[in-house]
Structure 1
Amino acid sequence: MDKRFIKKEGFEVFNGNELIIKGALEAGVSLITGYPGSPVADVFDVASSIKELLLEEGVLAQLANNEALSVARLNGTQMEDIRAMAVMKSVGLHVAADGLAIGNLSKSGKKGGALVVVGDDPWSDSTQVPADSRYLAKHLHLPVMEPSTFQELKDWVKIGFELSRDSDLYLLYLVTTNQADGGGIVEVARHLSPKYNMNHPIELDTRKIPVNDTVLLPPRTGAREVDLKERYQRLHQACRERKVNTLLYPAQGIQEFGFISSGLAYSYLEHALWELGLQGRFPILKLGITFPIDSNVFLDFASQVKNVIVVEERRGFIEEAITLILKDAFQSGSFSRPPKIWGKSFPNGLPGIPSTRGLNPSILIERLGELFLHFPPEGLERLRVQKELDLIEEVSKFSLEIPVRTPTFCPGCPHRDSSNVLLDIKKDFRNPNYMKQHHKTQPVDLLFHGDTGCYTMLMFEPNQDLMHNYSGMGLGGGTGAGIDPFITNKQVVFMGDSTFFHSGMTAISDSIKNNQDIAYIILDNKTTAMTGHQPTPESDTDVLGRPTFAQDIEAVLRGMTRRGPIPVLRVNPAYREEYREVLEETILKEGVKVIIADKECGITFHRRLRKEKSKMIREKGYLPEEEFINITPEVCEYCLECTKSTGCPGLTVEETDYGSKIVTDLSTCVADMACTKIKACPSFEKVIVKRSKKTIDPLKGIDLKSFPQPQHGRVHDQWRTYISGVGGMGIGVLTSVLVHAGMREGYHVLFCDKKGLAIRNGGVYSEITFLKGPLKVSPLIPNGKADLLWGLDALEAARAIDPKMPIRVGSPERTTAFINLFKTPTIRTLMNIDHFSIAELETLLKTYTCRDQYEGFDFSSLSEKYLGSKLYSNLVMLGSAFQKGLLPLGLDSILSAIQDTIQGDLKKNITAFNLGRRFILSPEIFSSHSKHHPFQNLFEEKQEMLARTFRKGKRLSQGYRELVQGALTQLVLDDETLRHFALRVYDLIQYENLDYAKSYVNRVLSLYHKDRLEFNYAATKAVILYLAKVMLIKDEVYVAHLLTSPEKLGRDKERYHIDERLGDRVIYRHLNRPQFKIFGFNVEFDIVTRNWQLRIMKHLKFLRKILSEWHRPEKEFRQWYFEMTDRFDFHDESSYQLYVQALKTPEEVRGYRQIRYLKMEEARLKVSELLGMSSKVSSLTSKLPQMKETSKARK
């Protein structure tokens, strides 16, 4: 149990969601209910984490099926003196509106209190519509309370209950994203045990219920509306008693400017004024209740200033309200000299406070700075203000073009199984031949209606074709109902299990009633995954871990469809072929159809699996058996069919001697085999590692205990750091460690941890500020003012200085960049859409931060090599940053913070921290030898390999040596090119024999003698690469060799830490789909092969001769390229460059069979266009052989 929540006094650090719960406990809450939604979804996770305390106190934390049901609970609690809280995001408030309007307007006469905590998202980071909940609250006559600081965020929960009690009104408690995600150090108090709690239920005396007040229906409604005025007056009186609305920095006489603000916007205002050197120079009316505004408080303030500047996020809610108050006061004669009101516009046409999206300190510095330079207040330091404006302008002009990082399904996500299959189905349903052959019908264009959940990420690559519109949660079917009568398309809706119980079953009922032609695919993963894995009505426990009845979606649906011909099918989407068959057959049926895709959420499944593995390691010291999915780079063609179909972040790109290849990321891949089911190529295999002893620690012999103490940095007024990365890299853990360490050092700490996309592999970041004292600043870092920029991911670090982003924290004058240089590709990169270079990012980061202080290294690979996973790289970087003296923290504070923050695997995390320290002190220990051997080394290595692996190996090795050395007497090329040449000669010997390799060498030499040094032998270099590529036809024989070659097996031993001396063994299960053309028929089948089978297959080279039709298109393409190479000619630089481009066309010929055949034809067409552009070589195109079109190529 988290002891912070039972602390009775003193100071502690909390995030915003935790502060809501802590405040509720200090207020004596009895019920915490709601429906999870960002940014306040973590409220329910926090409640679950302290369930022992809640159960002891009788506090009920309970998720409702939807927001409307949660606010109905509030209405129920107000029948007694019970304090109750409902928590939801802004769009959930729309769902709850009807219940809120009735509950708020009715009167119970009890002395409890009802808070509606609403999470607004001003920047629309994770919310589908730009919401400003104040306007809906006003419509519902619901008072709005806006805490500003983190201390208020906690303390005002209790005050909010008191205001609700005294006014007999519900209260909307407005929290924004940066408050919920942020946090800091606050003073705590003891919690209050609720008088009414679930441990001691009472019996209501129903005779005493004032039904005239609690049953709000006409004719009573009008009376309740009339007495709202009196209830608002009571609210204002209670606010005055508690000083909820405060006038700060009052001055003598009439001031030129005064500010009105509320919520986090007030903190941004104070922050901006501090940076401008003007904090405390202007009167500020800080409103705690922004609806209804206390007119007396405002008019008292307005009488002291000539100009009122309203600072608020989004639309001018306060500005409109005070303008109306002033108008009424002026018209009544009670206020003769009204001040001017500014907010969304400023004097002289200067830009005012933005009315769209959110605010941050830098926006206010820019807008107010310009205003003050035009209308200088007393005491203005013009140079300081101009310096601030210059810095904002400077960082806004940085020149960066970096790719976006879109979120995606997690590795192991069951929704990927569904999206993969449906992408294929949608494509095939459009194909007339497919539909005629398989369904005896015309092509069908599937229409997909969007809904709310993890599957909302279907809007991103590679799944955009599976989401054509979006109306809101549970409304996908309703959207379809609108278009259904007017189209012939078959329609599909994805729906989550939590959405089903929220509002989805109503949509299905509506579809049934109205004979809609639609297929519902219910993605039943047994959790509310999108918001952090809260329980659903299907779960057998609630938030507090108490047993509950587990409802069954299929049983509910069968009850709804009992007497109708409506299919309800349950299938596991992991079984791809069976799932596809069910989907195709069901979608094409008429009417409503429901398919339940039943597979557990990947995160919960693998979280449980990791616990089991950890237990095994604790007991035995090792795992007796592990399974991995491996991709053999030599077999991979980089066709990207696997990444385009799955978009799985467990796949990554590796640069090899043969170009870019797709491989699995050992630290991310969960071996769910989703990528293998695409069956696009034979490079995938299951690797089973068996061990009987503990592996040798790679850190053995490295001193991780004795370190000199570094000189750590000092904090003057404040120190700011920005941490950027990708979900799953441990940004939250690193943030928590630094925050707790800062607290132990005695700093006043503020932070904002934006982790909304953490579980969806999106970009995440944290901002941390250490203050020497409790300055009135916000948790955000102004533009250009980060002292340290951490980049757990280099791309996301560059995003922190991108002028197109709302926050750009780095500057050359102030910021030290500390960067992990491991490349984590985006999904669009994996799909060959966006590209980025770590070297180019590093150049940008050095340019726009302090170049002399820049630090960059591949910490991920260091972590994976010595600790077995990249996931420890955050603590490795922490140790390195500490030893470099980049942190204003002592060792004891950091170590204590690690112990406080990290519950499991503490020892390994401490080791990671110490590894980072040792790396800074002794980098030479960790220097790894490059896998990229120079020509001579590779040449000798391949000679030795031939001599060792063939029966007549010495003779073959000698032939290889003579062949290459003979060519070198003629080839005068750079080492890198000769290296590629020697490698490919070796490959061709392995593929066929020495004579086959000689034919390659002769063609290279022939072209080389026509080539010219003045063009840097570009044509020769192209032919060395691409002639080998077309000659190394990856038939079943050669693939068998590549999958079992000594080089490949040796690399696998290193990759999976296989030590045969300890009895380690590797078992391979190769996932093959061979194809042979026999007597004119294509014979194709799936087979899982062992190494011994492939070793037999690789010796069957004679099949290439006796099966004349086998891989015929590849052979014809090879012959076509031979003749193009043999006819190489040019007459000037232009024609030369065109021919070089033609020689490089095989670069884009990737994949196997049908995928490859289409690209071969495209290459031929491209060559015809290229060579046709040169009069000298145009005649050659007619002489080039035309590849015969095959039925497969046509298809």
Structure 2
Amino acid sequence: MDPRFTLERGTGIFTGNELLIKGALECGIGEITGYPGSPLTEVFDTLEKIRNLLDTKGIAAQIANNEAMAAARLNGSQMANIQAMAVMKSVGMHVAADGLALGNMAGATPGAGALLVVGDDTWSEGTQVPADSRFLSQHLYMPVLEPATFQEIKDWVGIGLELSRQTAFFITYLITSNQADGGGSVEVYPNRYPALNTRNRTNIDTSTIQSDERVIIPPATIVKEQHVISVRNPKLLELARNKGLNQILYPRSNPSPIGFITSGLSYIYLEHALQILGLSSHFPILKLGISYPLDPKLIATMADQVEQLCVVEEKRPFIEPQVATVLTHLRQEGRIKDIPLWGKHFSDNRRGFPATMGLHPSLVVRHLARLFTHIDIPQLDRTRLQRQLDQCQDTPSNANLVPVRTPSFCPGCPHRDSASVLKKTAADFADPDYMKKQNKEPTDLVFHGDIGCYSMLKYAPFSRLMHNLSGMGLGGATGAGIDPFIDNKQLVFMGDSTFFHTGITAISDSIKNNQDLTYVILDNKTTAMTGHQPTPGVDIDILGRPTFAQDIERAVRGLAGASDISITRIDPAKRREYRRLIEKKLLLPGVKIIIADKECGITNQRRQRGEKAALVAAKGFVPREHHINISQDVCEHCLECTKGTGCSGLTVNTRTEYGPKIAIDLSSCVADGACTKVEVDQGDKTCPSFEEITIYRKQPAQVELPTIDVGQLPEPKIRPLDEVWYTYIAGVGGMGINLVASVLAQAGVRQGYEVRLTNKKGLAIRNGSVYSHLSYSPRGQIISPLVPSGRANLLLGLDLLEAARGVNPQDRNKAASREFTTALINTAFTPTINTLIGTEDYSPEAMIALIRQHTDAESYFGTDLFAISETYLGNKLYANIMLLGVAYQSGLLPLDLENLKWAMKVALQRDFDTNNTAFAMGRRLALDPTFFTTETPAPNLESLLLEKRARLDKTHGSRIANKYDQRLREVLAQLHVEERSRRHFALCVYDLIQYENFAYAEKYIQQVLRIYQRDTAELAHAATCAVITYLAKVMIVKDEVYVAYLLTCKEKYERDHRRYNIDPKRGDRIVYKHLTRPHFRLLGKDFQPNIKTRDWQLQLIRKMKFLRRLFSSWWHREERDFSDWYEDLLAQFTYNCAADYRKWIAVLKLPEQVRGYRSVRAPKMATARRQARDLLAEQAKTGSPDLLEIKPAIDIPLSKVIR
């Protein structure tokens, strides 16, 4: 139980979502309902966290099946003295509109009250359509109450319910995303609990119910409407005046040049902008708590105090036309003079405040500057105005430098199984050759979109699987609109919570109209998209109480009745069976329903973590661990696994001897095996680099970490808080961005500051961007929860790309500037999904340069904190607190160490000691960024030769080992190329010996030397360097024999032991299951069995080099032909000019693109040959205008090194 929700006095730090619940508790709420959706999802998470309190006090808390059901609950609650609150996002209000219209007309009852909390995503960060619920509220005659400050968000919940009781209105309580996701310090009061509750029930006396009042059917409808206009609205405005909900701030006795009318968070943005411009309290401001209906009396009073009026509001004009109507009437009555009214339009036909998107303090500054240009304002410091305007203006440079980080399915997500299968199926169904084998014509599959985690299908690598979007549960109905006119096969994904929301109706509609559509119902047993709230398909509710679990399969079978509609339940992780089922059902006519039954990856991992924690508590360690591993030597970096999964559990290892390789990110991989099941052409698996490993231990793992001694740390000078202090914290989901913000917020409150923050999570858990705005100010200042453009004093970047986004002049979240900002950056490379799939990349160096360009370069700090954290603490997740330590020691935080440590203990109760160590390490790094070393330097050439000689001595005997050493030293003495290429040459010779024998390696050596003889030092021997790398690449064919060697060689075992902390002396044991699918033809048929080979089997295969000669006519014929072709190319190497030479370099490097196995590799080899032919043909045509004088690369007869 979170103790903040039972605080009775004092100051607490809450998010906007949490304040809604705390406010409800303080006013005696009896029922809370709704449907989760951004930006109000956290409301339901909060209910779950305080479920014991709610249950004890008899407060009903229920998630309705959809928003319309929640609206009806509001209506039902008014049959007794129950204060009720329904919570939903803006598009949910669309769903609820019918119930709200009737409920509002019938009205709330005097002893009760009905509050509709609606979340408007003004910047459309997590909502599919523009949001402005004020218009729908007006259409429904529902008054709009807009709290502005975080204190009001809490306190006005009770005021809204009181207004509802006294006016009978259902009140719209409007919260925007920056309020819901934001937070700050507020004063709290005692909770009041309802007398009528679930533990103290009552009986309704139905004889007291006046049906004419509660049942709205004509002719009562028009009577009710007239009552709203003539009685209820005036009463509401009178109550609002009495409570000061609408008030004129900074009133004037003499007319002000201009005054403002605003409401909600727009008021905070306006105050913040005026504070930035040094104009706080200089103009009258009509702050509206009720933005609909408007109070004409206040508008008249305001008009008497100003010469011009300006409305500041987000989105389309809503308040402005109401004000215009009132002013018109007042002017017609002769009560006021003609007053210019500005808002979305300024004088001289200039564009005013934006009618699309939301507002931001800097956006308001920019538009105020344009507004003030034509107004005589004596107090205005126009130099300061221009300086602030320059600070927040867009700059065209670097506009597209920071690539987008698109979201993806979480590691372990069951939807990835379905997406991977359907992506391949769609490609195959469009292939005439493939469909011919099925005796069918090719078909272009049409995919109808829907709302849920599967909305991620819009993004790569699955963007082929979403062609439209109509709304939640409406994918099938969208298909019904086109189905009568097309022959395409169609499919729609539907989540289990969507099924119960509205999807079941869509299925019924499809069955009724015999639609040719396949439904794939993704039954993962949770409302995953909005934070894992329970669905009707599970056996508990939001408070953890037992409920009946409704079965989707039984429900759809009930709809299908006695028809022949195909309904199948299957685990999508069984890829081959799932694929066959999908293909079969898609080709059938009519409605088909497939229920993909697999638990959500996140809930699965939470359950597994609980089981592991229980094991550790009982035994002190986990005796068995399961992982997916990728052998970096076998991986070809073909990217087929990433293209087929888009999984963020995969990453790129750029530190291997052979270039970038795909690797498992142990901090995020959940070992569900999705990456091991990707299929490419002809049903082949991507490659044999994947393996399942099981680690057995007899005692806790002994993790050998370097000793940490930070020494004496001098206390930094604490920065005083002379003015508002801002920080911007940026990263990716899972990096602990919001945790850092929480620590700083708690510490700031304890330090005595006014704290404001906004945590933007978006699709964080799905590899999305995360950022937090946080500010400290002296008590009493009115500022927004956002950092104004360029005003961040501190930029904390846990992710390099997201930190760069915070300085990019073209990004609306630009928070940094050279004048104000110190940047502290974790420079570790975190790939985007587009990076993983090879469609886009970014340069870490370019991002660092961009950050330094737009912040104070002298105070910049940047290092790879992930590497330091992993090396010294065993996990990269401590990097966030390490960065906090850097900030503190650098004197950049206006916080005492005592308050900061206290906040860390509050936020990090489970693992405070390790985090405290990380904090101390960060402090030391601030003093010496090189203090902690992380990378083991690559062995120099001499140590490499000694290592490889020792390994050959064990595998091939001393004769071959000595021969290797002597020959390499002989050749390298004459091979004057860059050191990296010399090392790689030695490595390749070793590999070729292991691959075949010394004679084969000697063939390689002589080819390299022949090229070297014709090469030139004037061009840095670029051709020789290219051949060193790529000749070995084509000569070493990764056949079954060599792959078996790579998977069982000593080097790999040593690497795995280090990675997984395996110590056989302590009883640790690692067992491998190598995932392979051999492809062979027998009697004209293809056979592709899934085989999990063991090490002993591969150790036998690695000895079968004779197979290459025994079956030389067909054994990997294409790869061997490609190797022969490349060697033939080398014989043609000649050039007469620099242009010739550059073309040859391009030709010699063509094998770089030849990656992958079998069907993946074959077309790339053909492409490389074609490109080489074209390049050499072009060379032949161009001639040789600039001849080069070629100096011999070696000064001794070649016979001494070339044999």
With the shorter chain as reference, the TM-score category is over 0.9
The amino acid across from 1:104 in the alignment is N
Q: 1:311 maps to which residue?
A: 312
| TM superposition shift of 1:382 | 1.7
Q: Identity over aligned residues, as a percent?
A: 51
Q: How many positions carry a matched residue from both structures? A: 1175
What does 1:91-102 align with in structure 2 at a 5 Å threshold? 91-102=91-102
Q: 2:149 maps to which residue?
A: 149
Q: 2:161 maps to which residue?
A: 161
- Distance in 2 (CA, whole Å) between partners of 1:930 and 1:369 is 56
- Distance in 2 (CA, whole Å) between partners of 1:638 and 1:171 is 58
- Is 2:243 aligned against 1:238? no
Q: Which secondary structure does the structure 1 equivalent of 2:628 belong to?
A: strand
**Cα deviation digits, residues 417-443 of structure 1 (max 9, x gap):** 111111111111122222232x32222
- Distance in 1 (CA, whole Å) between partners of 2:32 and 2:245 is 24
- Distance in 1 (CA, whole Å) between partners of 2:923 and 2:285 is 48
Q: 2:527 maps to which residue?
A: 528
Q: 2:781 maps to which residue?
A: 775
Q: 2:385 maps to which residue?
A: 385
| TM superposition shift of 1:586 | 1.3
Q: 2:1045 maps to which residue?
A: 1041
| TM superposition shift of 1:48 | 1.2
- Is 2:1166 aligned against 1:1161? yes
- Is 2:669 aligned against 1:663? no
* Residues 1077 and 1110, structure 1, Cα contact 8 Å, conserved in 2: no
* Residues 702 and 1061, structure 2, Cα contact 8 Å, conserved in 1: no
- Is 2:1055 aligned against 1:1056? no
| TM superposition shift of 1:394 | 7.0
* Residues 1068 and 1090, structure 1, Cα contact 8 Å, conserved in 2: yes
| TM superposition shift of 1:704 | 6.9
Q: Which secondary structure does the structure 1 equivalent of 2:62 belong to?
A: strand
- Distance in 2 (CA, whole Å) between partners of 1:1110 and 1:326 is 89
| TM superposition shift of 1:929 | 4.0
The amino acid across from 1:1034 in the alignment is K
* Residues 247 and 286, structure 1, Cα contact 8 Å, conserved in 2: yes
Q: Out of 1143, 1147, 1155, which is 1:1150 matched to?
A: 1155
- Distance in 1 (CA, whole Å) between partners of 2:346 and 2:149 is 27
Q: 1:542 maps to which residue?
A: 541
Q: 2:128 maps to which residue?
A: 128
Q: 1:1192 maps to which residue?
A: none
Q: Out of 745, 749, 754, which is 1:739 matched to?
A: 745
1:110 to 1:393, Cα distance in 2 relative to 1, 3 A:
closer
Q: 1:634 maps to which residue?
A: 633
Q: 1:1183 maps to which residue?
A: none
- Distance in 2 (CA, whole Å) between partners of 1:821 and 1:619 is 40
Q: 1:1187 maps to which residue?
A: none
The amino acid across from 2:269 in the alignment is Y
| TM superposition shift of 1:399 | 5.7
| TM superposition shift of 1:736 | 1.0
| TM superposition shift of 1:105 | 1.1
Q: 2:57 maps to which residue?
A: 57
Q: 2:898 maps to which residue?
A: 892
Q: Which secondary structure does the structure 2 equivalent of 1:415 belong to?
A: helix
Q: Which secondary structure does the structure 1 equivalent of 2:693 belong to?
A: strand
Using the TM superposition, name which of 379-388 and 32-41 deviates more. 379-388
**Cα deviation digits, residues 853-893 of structure 1 (max 9, x gap):** 11111111222233332222222222333233332222222
Using the TM superposition, name which of 507-516 and 1052-1061 deviates more. 1052-1061
What does 1:200-279 align with in structure 2 at a 5 Å threshold? 200-229=200-229, 230-279=231-280
- Distance in 2 (CA, whole Å) between partners of 1:277 and 1:614 is 55
What does 1:496-511 align with in structure 2 at a 5 Å threshold? 496-511=495-510
The amino acid across from 1:780 in the alignment is L
| TM superposition shift of 1:693 | 2.2
The amino acid across from 2:435 in the alignment is M
Q: 2:728 maps to which residue?
A: 722
Q: 2:292 maps to which residue?
A: 291
The amino acid across from 1:574 in the alignment is A
Q: 1:444 maps to which residue?
A: 443
The amino acid across from 1:588 in the alignment is L
* Residues 1062 and 1069, structure 2, Cα contact 8 Å, conserved in 1: yes
* Residues 790 and 816, structure 2, Cα contact 8 Å, conserved in 1: yes
The amino acid across from 1:367 in the alignment is H
- Distance in 2 (CA, whole Å) between partners of 1:742 and 1:1044 is 55
1:135 to 1:935, Cα distance in 2 relative to 1, 3 A:
same
* Residues 753 and 767, structure 1, Cα contact 8 Å, conserved in 2: yes
| TM superposition shift of 1:81 | 2.3
1:504 to 1:1104, Cα distance in 2 relative to 1, 3 A:
same
Q: 1:479 maps to which residue?
A: 478
* Residues 647 and 827, structure 1, Cα contact 8 Å, conserved in 2: yes
1:436 to 1:1178, Cα distance in 2 relative to 1, 3 A:
farther
Q: Out of 1171, 1177, 1180, which is 1:1175 matched to?
A: 1180
* Residues 257 and 375, structure 2, Cα contact 8 Å, conserved in 1: no
Q: 1:371 maps to which residue?
A: 371
| TM superposition shift of 1:718 | 1.8
Structure 2 residues without counterparts, runs of 5 or longer: 679-684, 1185-1203
Q: Which secondary structure does the structure 2 equivalent of 1:1103 belong to?
A: helix
Q: Which secondary structure does the structure 2 equivalent of 1:926 belong to?
A: coil
The amino acid across from 2:791 in the alignment is K
- Distance in 2 (CA, whole Å) between partners of 1:108 and 1:1145 is 75
1:169 to 1:350, Cα distance in 2 relative to 1, 3 A:
same
Using the TM superposition, name which of 12-21 and 810-819 deviates more. 810-819
* Residues 1071 and 1087, structure 1, Cα contact 8 Å, conserved in 2: yes
* Residues 144 and 173, structure 2, Cα contact 8 Å, conserved in 1: yes
- Is 2:37 aligned against 1:40? no
* Residues 730 and 771, structure 2, Cα contact 8 Å, conserved in 1: yes
| TM superposition shift of 1:973 | 1.0
The amino acid across from 2:289 in the alignment is G
Q: 1:14 maps to which residue?
A: 14
Alpha-carbon RMSD across the aligned residues, in angstroms, is 1.8
- Is 2:991 aligned against 1:987? yes
* Residues 807 and 850, structure 2, Cα contact 8 Å, conserved in 1: no
- Distance in 1 (CA, whole Å) between partners of 2:572 and 2:1079 is 27
The two structures have a TM-score, normalised by structure 2, of 0.96
Q: 1:942 maps to which residue?
A: 948
**Cα deviation digits, residues 1054-1083 of structure 1 (max 9, x gap):** 111222332222211111223467999876
Q: Out of 1002, 1007, 1010, which is 1:1006 matched to?
A: 1010
1:336 to 1:888, Cα distance in 2 relative to 1, 3 A:
closer
* Residues 261 and 310, structure 2, Cα contact 8 Å, conserved in 1: yes
1:1080 to 1:565, Cα distance in 2 relative to 1, 3 A:
closer
Q: Which secondary structure does the structure 1 equivalent of 2:904 belong to?
A: helix
| TM superposition shift of 1:778 | 0.4
Q: 1:1184 maps to which residue?
A: none
The amino acid across from 1:267 in the alignment is I
- Distance in 1 (CA, whole Å) between partners of 2:715 and 2:353 is 48
* Residues 395 and 784, structure 1, Cα contact 8 Å, conserved in 2: no
| TM superposition shift of 1:263 | 0.7
* Residues 705 and 871, structure 2, Cα contact 8 Å, conserved in 1: no
* Residues 724 and 777, structure 2, Cα contact 8 Å, conserved in 1: yes
- Distance in 2 (CA, whole Å) between partners of 1:882 and 1:611 is 35
- Distance in 2 (CA, whole Å) between partners of 1:878 and 1:1069 is 42
The amino acid across from 2:558 in the alignment is G
**Cα deviation digits, residues 730-777 of structure 1 (max 9, x gap):** 112121111111111111110000012121110010011011222111
The amino acid across from 1:597 in the alignment is A
Q: Which secondary structure does the structure 2 equivalent of 1:433 belong to?
A: helix
Q: Which secondary structure does the structure 2 equivalent of 1:63 belong to?
A: coil
Using the TM superposition, name which of 192-201 and 533-542 deviates more. 192-201
- Distance in 2 (CA, whole Å) between partners of 1:1088 and 1:890 is 58
- Is 2:771 aligned against 1:765? yes
1:76 to 1:1176, Cα distance in 2 relative to 1, 3 A:
closer
Using the TM superposition, name which of 372-381 and 829-838 deviates more. 372-381
- Distance in 2 (CA, whole Å) between partners of 1:141 and 1:860 is 55
Q: 1:593 maps to which residue?
A: 592
- Distance in 1 (CA, whole Å) between partners of 2:919 and 2:620 is 22
| TM superposition shift of 1:1047 | 1.6
- Is 2:964 aligned against 1:960? yes
Q: Out of 986, 989, 996, which is 2:1000 matched to?
A: 996
Q: 1:1092 maps to which residue?
A: 1096
* Residues 373 and 382, structure 1, Cα contact 8 Å, conserved in 2: no
- Distance in 1 (CA, whole Å) between partners of 2:624 and 2:740 is 31
What does 1:1130-1141 align with in structure 2 at a 5 Å threshold? 1130-1141=1135-1146
Q: 1:847 maps to which residue?
A: 853
| TM superposition shift of 1:620 | 3.3
Q: Which secondary structure does the structure 2 equivalent of 1:1131 belong to?
A: coil
* Residues 421 and 579, structure 2, Cα contact 8 Å, conserved in 1: yes
